[in-house]
Structure 1
Amino acid sequence: MATPDRPEPGERSGAFDMALAEAEGSLTTDPSRAAAKARALLLSWPQNPAAHRLLAKALERMGQPSEARNAKAMAVTLSRHVPAIGEAHRAVLAGQPAAAIETLQSHLARHPDDPVALLVQGEALARTGRLSAAVSSFEAALAFMPEYREARIALVRAHYQRFDPRAALDGLALLLEPETRDVALLRWQAALLAEVGDHERAEAVHRRLLEIAPNDPAVLVGFGDLQRTLGQTSEAERAYRKALVAAPGLGAPWWSLTTLLGGQLDSADRTALKAAFDEARNPADRLYLAFAEGTVADKAGDHERAFALLSEANRLRRAQLSYDGNAFARRMEDLEANLDRSFFADREDWGDLSDAPIFIVGMPRSGSTLVEQILAGHSQVTAGGEMPIVTSLLREAAASAGLDPERDIVELLGTLTASDCTRLGADYLKRARDRCGRARARFTDKLPHNWAELAFIHLILPNARIVDIRRNALDCCVSNFALLFQPGHPASYDLIEIADYYLTYVRAMEWCGKVMPEVIQLVRYEALVEDAEGETRALLEFLGLEFESGCLELGTEGRVIATASAEQARRPINRSSLDGWKRFDPWLGGLKEALAPLHRDRGHGNERHLPIGRN
């Protein structure tokens, strides 16, 4: 029996392929002849997608776009039934992308313009971390058929995964009809617009979403989140409350409302929240509601109940995650053991030599937003927020080399060439500038976890400056435990794991300070709070910037802040976050024991670097 990829038994597929190739050769010089040959081939093998693709290309050259589109659509439909493509697609779905890529090699060697095969190959490449190659595969599929919707969506997703929101936004624009009512695509557009800092257009898209789906809780929460980012607290609160009217038991709007108001809910809200928590059966809702209930109890001064609720919330979240703290610690130890200062000295002229990036690193909830807002008050600095570009570049480089970026990090860094580092540094700057703009000379990247990738950063951007914002261990760990993070901080849902992560961070930063001391500045959060001007002057001097009074004007309206600490960061610098751990002191015995190595390091000259808590 004939299939789209195989002729009838006894039929000579080689002869068919030769005829197909001959017809392809006449496309440029005589497209009408190529079309005639394609039709003749289809008489003997009507299900052959390659013949339909040939016909489509010939018709396009003959100025018959409508007929060409029909032929392309038929080719795509038939390609879905090609055995090799079906097998590869099943392999992707089964989590075997490498097998899918191998399965498609022979087919794509014969049919390099098959858009369905290119789409499946791109999906497989993306799942192996080779996102640049995936983008090329999706683009090749679209070169044959620009209206291929699935490939366009996959391309947008790949750009987004690479943290290239500008390219993703451009691709998404081609999917959006002028009067579209596709809620999913519009939500995606709004998120991408916010990523590139076009908050005016993002807000316009959100308001269109509210017209289309006025009672959709996800739409309302998304609108509220944008208003919160813009500092429009009242507007954000109204949106969250509308979401709760639409779905009273939904966890996400309760968590958003609670954190927006700092846990200060009135009695009616507290009653409704407790009822929602008691009745919640969906694990995702119960997770959000437990964090919200814990936050409210904490603000009300019922710290024992708050700690119990937060412990339950963290247990629920930890159960959803796969995280191996020991493996992560071994990764950082491998770097320390194998890369010394001479490794970087031998490569000091590698990478892109721009001094524009300022990386703010440290533990989450350590004061990185505060530091960024201080720097954003300077006329030469733009706040870039948390940009996961470094991680994306590292994973792409590892995938291209066939290495694991976690297990093989030392080997990976050792295999990078000077040209690799220059290319990667330039790619980082392009993506970051697409997010931050080019109006100011310098910009910040305050993704806290970048501390784990400082060796990579220093290779590709040797003149970038690193600000290590360090908060005392107990305050920092407890603050992490009390917050539900977006994906990206899996160590924050168990107090012992948070402590271990903090210890790994401190040790890694001590090592970085030895091998690249000229680019790292330690800033103590407590010192910044106690002497904002003095610490700010020292930080600006390190960055090569003149002091400007605007750096200390944090209460200024209109600043865009898209982090959990947005409301706090908009207030003038204050001491309210100091010693917060003490309210949970009776239940922190395990945490204090886990952090004991920091105490033991005292007496070795590290007191300034390894703060535990205030006595």
Structure 2
Amino acid sequence: MNATEFQQHIGKIKHAVQGSAFSNANQLLSQLKSKDLNASQHVEVLYLTAVTCRLSGDYLAASHHLNTLLNMRPDYGRAHQELAYNYDALNKPKEAASALFTATHYNPALISSWKKLLTVYRKHNDKDAEQLALQQLEYLESLPAPILGAYDLMYEKKLASAEQICRQFLLKNKHHPEAMLLLAELGIQLKVYHDAEFLLESCSTLYPDNLRAIITYLSLLAKLGKHQKVLEIAEMQRERFTDNLQIIMAKANALLGLNKTAEAIAIYDDLLAKEKDRPAVWLALGHAYKSKGKTDKAIFAYQQAAYYHPQFGDAYWSLANLKSYRFDDKEVSRMLELEQQPSIGLDDRIHVCFAIGKALEDMKRYDDAFSYYNRGNQFKLASVQFDITRTEQAVESQIAVSSKQDFNRESTGFPSPEPIFIVGMPRAGSTLLEQILASQGDIDGTMELHNILSLASSISNQQKPYPFCLNELTFEQRYNLGKQYIEQTKYYRGNAPFFIDKMPNNFMHIGFIKQILPNAKIIDARRDPMDCCFSNFKQLFGDGQEFSYGLEEIGRYFEAYAKLMRHWDKVYPGQILRVTHEEVLDDLALQVKRMLDYIGVPFDSACLDFYNTERLIKTPSAEQVRQPINRSGQDRWKPFEAHLSPLLKRFK
């Protein structure tokens, strides 16, 4: 059902409900349910059905519809608020209070829920919680009505509507700080990072005392891998916001991102010496030790994070994500109990589900393991609202643009031969290839850099969005973009003549890369599709890779990736080196020689002993690439074969 027709129908239902014409509302809802609705439309219909049932006095039916809805969208704040109203009507105050707390967790803009919670906190003489509720209410009530409404829409994942309201408000109220912050947050969620960065830089400059703007700005810069800039701003802001934990952590995390691990660890240690009960600091310390290969210290730090915050899902997943860590029976029982607790947040539950899946797989309880992997993936997919058709459309756009006659012009871009891009699917062996190549003295390993995505975003415009604007770039623009990339990435490398950027998603931007850096080398890391796709399904990524949370989505993503790579092979014949994981396992020396010859550096036997190379590694494969070549990752999908029909129908 198209969006306009759907909203017209929804408007009639809301009008009927407001007029207490519940029979008419139910009739209109029944008509809608017979239509072909997408997931978000189905959620809205279920919500209005529940509201109508409650107002009609049918509380059992309302609860049924809300439970169905929350199974689809467990982070739908208004549904939890509606559940609280329903519990109130059924005289279940304890359940109502719990639902209100959950509602404000997922949608902090719900004034009605905060007011009801305030009453609960006062009744129980909970002064700290009362103060928090009062502060949030004061903040929400200070917001202009359109901005409050837009925040509500954003938290309920109606991003386009929220953006429209926010932009209209800014036209009349230029440089309003809350509107600028909201529009930036929407830009981040929509992955329009260049616009969001500009807004946050402007807001923090115009309002230097706005701590929220500064923290959000630092967070985005970190997300984009601009760690040097984070470091500079954090240092400057320390003078204004003395001892602010978020700014101190931003500095430490930036140091970690710049491979200054010892300095980062010193800051984490100092924070923990002052106060042990800081789970997020323990977690960051664990990540730092993991990147250095100090597994025992990483385990201790993650365990401390879980000790101080027993519902901290990321602490359990970080232990599982070490790959070599094995949970004992007591830990598994604790996680199983934790996952069932009603009070656990969605993000923590997702992390715990993936950790349980890994623990049960290690115990060879494959059906149970799949159940928890699948549960975590379903929750995650619902929360990110990923649509695989957008990726498929993006691939078609890249093909269409790069098929034009004037696309691959001669003498274009910045001529540096320094970058080596390793692209492909995540979990395809790219970290292993980087570790092998970084063992050669002329090549620096770095990390998954965000710079190409950021630069691509920066050239997009309303008249010709990326990638359709590529053919409009002048020689000067291409040259400057390539030069900018080299300058931006110098903070992550040493003094070697070449360096690696192993952001796998850059396969989507090979056309852009070759336009701005025509002499860059590109290696496509390829792995057996069943092994690769199932490995993605089991992996909970720190950020991005939203395609990986559903078997159907993963399979279609792999097909889209393979299709685009076939196209790039035609556009740039002989310029992209494909290295398959299985061939590396079969003959490491041959594949090392192929890669080094392609890059143009001499053979180095250290590449064969790559596991002895000491360097920071920040991907899920960190421990695995510190071991000699082995086949432990092959055919790991086979014990789960009965559950993998969406992949088997494509690849077997």
Structures share fold, TM-score greater than 0.5: yes
Deviation, 1:121, is: 5.2
Aligned counterpart, 1:382: 444
Q: 1:396 to 1:266 in 2, by over 3 A?
A: same
Q: Residues of 2 paired with 1:421 and 1:91: CA distance?
A: 41
Q: 1:225 to 1:137 in 2, by over 3 A?
A: closer
Deviation, 1:412, is: 2.0
Q: Does the 8 Å contact 1:385/1:445 carry over to 2?
A: yes
Q: Residues of 2 paired with 1:451 and 1:295: CA distance?
A: 29
Q: Residues of 1 paired with 2:172 and 2:357: CA distance?
A: 57
Q: 1:488 to 1:307 in 2, by over 3 A?
A: same
* 2:634 aligned with 1:581: no
Aligned counterpart, 1:299: 362
TM-score (norm 2): 0.70
Aligned counterpart, 1:209: 271
Counterpart residue identity of residue 608, structure 2: L
* 2:331 aligned with 1:269: yes
2:585 to 529, 547, 564: 529
Counterpart residue identity of residue 562, structure 2: V
Q: Residues of 2 paired with 1:260 and 1:154: CA distance?
A: 29
Counterpart residue identity of residue 624, structure 2: Q
Q: 1:117 to 1:293 in 2, by over 3 A?
A: closer
2:532 to 453, 476, 481: 476
Aligned counterpart, 1:6: none
* 2:490 aligned with 1:433: yes
* 2:506 aligned with 1:450: yes
Q: Does the 8 Å contact 2:194/2:457 carry over to 1?
A: no
Q: Does the 8 Å contact 1:149/1:175 carry over to 2?
A: no
1:495 to 529, 537, 551: 551
State the secondary structure of the residue aligned to 1:478: helix
Q: Does the 8 Å contact 1:350/1:418 carry over to 2?
A: yes
* 2:424 aligned with 1:335: no
Deviation, 1:143, is: 6.9
Q: 1:166 to 1:281 in 2, by over 3 A?
A: same
1:13-412 aligned at under 5 Å gives the runs 93=151, 124=183, 152-153=214-215, 155-157=217-219, 159-160=221-222, 162-177=224-239, 180-260=242-322, 262=324, 264-279=326-341, 281-282=343-344, 283-340=346-403, 342-345=405-408, 347-398=409-460, 400-405=461-466, 409=467, 411-412=468-469
Question: Which deviates further from its counterpart, 152-161 or 469-478?
Answer: 152-161
State the secondary structure of the residue aligned to 2:623: helix
State the secondary structure of the residue aligned to 1:320: helix
Q: 1:280 to 1:537 in 2, by over 3 A?
A: farther
Largest Rg, 1 or 2: 1
- Structure 2, unmatched stretches of 5+, are 1-142, 154-158
Q: Does the 8 Å contact 2:147/2:178 carry over to 1?
A: no
Q: 1:590 to 1:143 in 2, by over 3 A?
A: closer
Q: Residues of 1 paired with 2:335 and 2:516: CA distance?
A: 49
Counterpart residue identity of residue 167, structure 1: K
Counterpart residue identity of residue 477, structure 1: C
Residues 171-223 of structure 1, C-alpha deviations (whole Å, 9 max, x = no match): 11111149943222222111111111111211111112212331222221111
Deviation, 1:375, is: 0.9
* 2:471 aligned with 1:414: yes
Q: 1:119 to 1:90 in 2, by over 3 A?
A: closer
Aligned counterpart, 1:504: 560
Q: 1:204 to 1:578 in 2, by over 3 A?
A: same
Q: Does the 8 Å contact 2:439/2:613 carry over to 1?
A: no
Aligned counterpart, 2:622: 566
Q: CA RMSD in A?
A: 3.0
Counterpart residue identity of residue 572, structure 1: P
Q: Does the 8 Å contact 2:169/2:179 carry over to 1?
A: no
Question: Which deviates further from its counterpart, 149-158 or 86-95?
Answer: 86-95
Q: 1:562 to 1:280 in 2, by over 3 A?
A: farther
Q: 1:87 to 1:434 in 2, by over 3 A?
A: farther
Query: Aligned pair count?
Result: 499
State the secondary structure of the residue aligned to 1:466: strand
State the secondary structure of the residue aligned to 2:612: coil
TM-score (norm 1): 0.74
Q: 1:156 to 1:316 in 2, by over 3 A?
A: closer
Q: Residues of 1 paired with 2:326 and 2:199: CA distance?
A: 51
State the secondary structure of the residue aligned to 1:484: coil
Deviation, 1:462, is: 1.1
Deviation, 1:270, is: 2.7
* 2:522 aligned with 1:466: yes
Deviation, 1:160, is: 3.7
Question: Which deviates further from its counterpart, 357-366 or 546-555?
Answer: 546-555
State the secondary structure of the residue aligned to 2:555: helix
Q: Does the 8 Å contact 1:290/1:310 carry over to 2?
A: yes
Q: Residues of 1 paired with 2:643 and 2:204: CA distance?
A: 58
Q: Does the 8 Å contact 1:341/1:514 carry over to 2?
A: no
Aligned counterpart, 2:7: none
State the secondary structure of the residue aligned to 1:444: strand
Residues 554-611 of structure 1, C-alpha deviations (whole Å, 9 max, x = no match): 2226321101111111111111112222121222233211336xxxxxxxxxxxxxxx
Q: Does the 8 Å contact 1:384/1:432 carry over to 2?
A: no
Q: Does the 8 Å contact 2:219/2:250 carry over to 1?
A: no
State the secondary structure of the residue aligned to 1:361: strand
Question: Which deviates further from its counterpart, 326-335 or 530-539?
Answer: 326-335
Q: 1:127 to 1:426 in 2, by over 3 A?
A: farther
Q: 1:457 to 1:585 in 2, by over 3 A?
A: same
Q: Does the 8 Å contact 1:119/1:138 carry over to 2?
A: no
State the secondary structure of the residue aligned to 2:560: helix
Q: 1:493 to 1:119 in 2, by over 3 A?
A: closer
Residues 394-445 of structure 1, C-alpha deviations (whole Å, 9 max, x = no match): 11211x455544xxx3x222222222212221221122112224x1111111
1:517 to 550, 570, 573: 573
Counterpart residue identity of residue 379, structure 1: G
Q: Does the 8 Å contact 1:380/1:442 carry over to 2?
A: yes
| Identity within the alignment, % | 29
Q: Residues of 1 paired with 2:317 and 2:203: CA distance?
A: 42
Q: Residues of 1 paired with 2:404 and 2:587: CA distance?
A: 33
State the secondary structure of the residue aligned to 1:186: helix
Q: Residues of 1 paired with 2:214 and 2:410: CA distance?
A: 41
